Amino acid sequence: MEVYKFGGASVKDAEAIKNVARIIADHGPEQLVVVVSAMGKTTNAMERVIAAYCKENGEAQAAFDVVKASHLATCEALFGADTSQQVYEDLREVFDQVESRLLLPPKAAYNFIYDQIVCAGELLSTILVAAYLNKEGVYTHWQDVRRCILTDNTYREGKVNWEVTNARVRKVLRPHLKAGARVVTQGFLGGTVEAFTTTLGREGSDYTAAILANCLDAECMSVWKDVPGILNGDPRLVEDAELLHQLSYHEAIEMTYYGAKVIHPKTIKPLHNKQIPLRVRSFKHPSEEGTRIHESSQTEFPPVVVFNKNQVLIRITTPDLSYVMEDTLSDIYQALAKYNIKTNLSQNGSVSFRVCVDDVAYKIEPLVEDLSEEYELELTRGIELITIRHYSDDAVDRFTKDKEILLTQKGKKNILMVVR
């Protein structure tokens, strides 16, 4: 039994969905769970719907009409123009759910509203993928993952209740797998005990697949990407990027912790706990091996460079020039935890503390408001964090050329540099 995960680029249109179906038919095992993200840039489009709805500017329905039109066009390309087919009815049901909510005043908290609306992207894409697989003769069961993965009520950053989730996944999915169906379900989504939708963090579909693989004791999990596997740098930014044929779980965790985007940071732990190998493969060249992540003893690697753009460097200073002591650090880290902000780099001095984090407005704004009550804050935006693992002097020089280095942190294997 295996788990496949397909991201938005792999299901961006009708031709891409046909390619996914070929991969599943030609390469997938008989017992297979397929986790699918929203199509292409749908999540971004749904975020525009949500923003318009919460601003009450009258533009939410028009923004959602764009999403509807793109999915209906894909549906017609896959199934023809007969709108009486069940697949059209299934799409209309999701459309109606969103539009019914858009008619109500946005009185709830923004993060709650976000999760209840943004989930439409994954529901729509999986309806299309499952229906097309069945059309092509691949017996497929569509599953609402919100019935399987239980989280707490931390909207946009749902924390998984592993005990209940494990029981639910086994109870709900195993009968379909034993009956010979390929199961198609959504990434990114979870549900609460009150049956509200939660999300697992942006780009969280990898994590969904890892959760399901863990609960089902999968033999392997595969993430299908538009790259040949994990490279030692983003090929759009590193001209001579090399394919890493294998990685240890530890090496993969280090890379994702420092911001490598190929795999979601939470993905590795559920797989490592069950010793389930992870393969990163190309949906453009499905016969190629890609990268295998497992209990590897390999220690020699080329420099691995990670570029984290859209960063903000926050300098926090005590107002009376008192020393930054444990109580000050405790205040700062409690505030960071309160707003679910991951520290990418931090450094403290005698009377100030500097921290580099992702510049996410809905998290940074309340953090600044909170800390400004007791401290003086200075924010530097428009910066980038470059991390080089297994660094060399040549690599540092190459990737910081013509850049101003604002802050550096160096360890035995890693060097982190805030630049602009």
* Site of tokens 């490592």: 272
18-73 per-position pLDDT tens digit:
999 999 999 999 999 999 999 999 999 999 999 999 999 999 999 999 999 999 99
Residues 6+ apart with CB under 8 A from 92: none
293-346 per-position pLDDT tens digit:
999 888 889 999 999 999 999 999 998 888 999 999 999 999 999 999 999 999
- Assign 273 a pLDDT band (cuts: 50, 70, 90): very high
Q: What is the pLDDT of residue 202?
A: 84
78-107 per-position pLDDT tens digit:
999 999 999 999 999 999 999 999 999 999
Distance of CA 112 to the CA centre of its chain: 18
- Assign 259 a pLDDT band (cuts: 50, 70, 90): confident
- In the chain the first and final C-alpha atoms are separated, in Å, by 47
Amino acid letter, residue 415:
I
And the tokens for 244? 């890493």
Q: What is the pLDDT of residue 74?
A: 98
Nearest C-alpha neighbor of 158 from the set 40, 266, 259, 50 = 266
Interatomic CA distance for residues 178 and 414, integer angstroms = 46
Side-chain half-sphere CA neighbours of 239 within 13 A: 2
Q: What is the pLDDT of residue 342?
A: 93
387-412 per-position pLDDT tens digit:
999 999 999 999 999 999 999 999 99
172-195 per-position pLDDT tens digit:
999 999 999 999 999 999 999 999
Nearest C-alpha neighbor of 190 from the set 171, 162, 170 = 162
Q: What is the pLDDT of residue 166?
A: 98
Interatomic CA distance for residues 386 and 25, integer angstroms = 40
What is the pLDDT averaged over residues 346-356? 94
Domains in the chain (CATH in brackets) are: 2-294 (3.40.1160.10), 304-419 (3.30.2130.10)
- DSSP annotation string for 312-340: EEEEEE-TT-----HHHHHHHHHHHHHTT
CB 222 within 8 A of CB 5: yes
Nearest C-alpha neighbor of 98 from the set 76, 126, 127, 118 = 118
Q: What is the DSSP letter of 39?
A: S
Using only C-alpha atoms, the chain has a radius of gyration, in whole angstroms, of: 23
Q: What is the pLDDT of residue 190?
A: 98
Interatomic CA distance for residues 9 and 182, integer angstroms = 21
Q: What is the pLDDT of residue 299?
A: 80
- Assign 261 a pLDDT band (cuts: 50, 70, 90): confident
What is the pLDDT averaged over residues 218-242? 93
100-155 per-position pLDDT tens digit:
999 999 999 999 999 999 999 999 999 999 999 999 999 999 999 999 999 999 99
